[in-house]
Amino acid sequence: MAITSERIDELTGRMGRAKIMILGDIMLDEYLFGSVSRISPEAPVPVVEITSSKHLLGGAANVANNIRTLGDDPVLIGAIGLDEPGSKLKGLLRERSISPTYLITDGSRQTTSKTRVIAHNQQVVRADREHRHALAHDIEAKVREGFMSMIDEVAAVIISDYGKGVITPSLLETVIDICNKKDKFVAVDPKETNFPNYRQVSLITPNHHEAGFAYGRRIISEADLLEVGHGLLERLDAMSILITRGPDGMSLFQRGGEPTHIPTFGRQVYDVTGAGDTVIATFVSSVAADANLVEAAIIANAAAGVTIGEIGTASVTVRELTKSLKYNVRNGNLITADVAK
């Protein structure tokens, strides 16, 4: 299957008009930029002289940022701590016109924050500050209330599970059940340990390591890929599974259809941070614009190709996405192929 320039115009012309809910683990990403010119006399480690810094939205908040950049209206739901990172995160959301209304403050946990030190365009070290315990029942109830109050107003739901405690089994069961009853497209960016609970979703987007771990078979060959993809699809009774494979592209498995491989196209890779957020956000935005699953996967693949060329979590506009898609159509890079059976 190939996607044409005319179809690209049709789909991207409809993107950016939907209200999409993002439910999950919200994070603050801090980047410290500098240079290395010497090794520490205290230990065999580089001394990074910091020259600049920036804060970005991470986790589910980065998914919401991707949705906003595409022009859609994100509804972000989750929990943060009563702390400075939480306040900074709210400020960043407001700057991006993303409402913090449904962010529940949990005084028993700190806002997840990740500090990355970057020198000469390479990450030197990452330091995490977080609590990963499951939400208390009263906090979970407030998150559930936020979900229930907005579910009828959104076109789709994205569950962004980083394993930080917001996506509990009971909350997940409620969300998926309600989405299916109300015929809402529900997509999951998964955490390996929670895989058995992602049943009957519309889409799940593991990378090949996560998919292999969840199924119990490492993906080394195409035969492994087929077994894992078909096996997870059946085990989870899901509508579709998109397995991202790094430089090997993406493979889409869908109920009642043949598996499809979307090859990657050449791009200088600077940073894959947040690439999964871009993939799921763009896929769901495309589906909300009436793309079929293969078309949505092609569009998401193109979006990821744009963002990995930037340092830090990044997002892509519809204009940038259209330009990338058309460039790759001209170069024959967006032709998909059935995965060998």
**Residues whose CB is less than 8 angstroms from the CB of residue 169 and which lie 6 or more positions away in sequence, other chains included:** 194, 197
Which residue's structure tokens are 């989750």? 78
Q: What are the DSSP E strand ranges found in 211-338? A: 240-244, 250-254, 260-262, 337-338
8 Å CB contact between 201 and 173: no
Active site (annotated) includes residue 277:
yes
DSSP 34-62: EEEEEE-SSSSSEEEEEEEEEEEEEEHHH
In total, the chain counts a number of residues equal to: 341
CA 158 from chain centre, in angstroms, equals 9
Give the 3-state secondary structure of residue 140: helix
In angstroms, the CA 54 to CA 181 distance is 42
Are 286 and 247 in contact, with CB atoms under 8 Å apart? no
End-to-end CA distance of the chain: 17
Task: Name the helix (H) or strand (E) containing 135.
Answer: none
Contact status, residue 308 vs residue 302, Cβ threshold 8 Å: no
Q: Which of 128, 277, 290, 338 is an active site residue?
A: 277
Residues involved in catalysis: 277
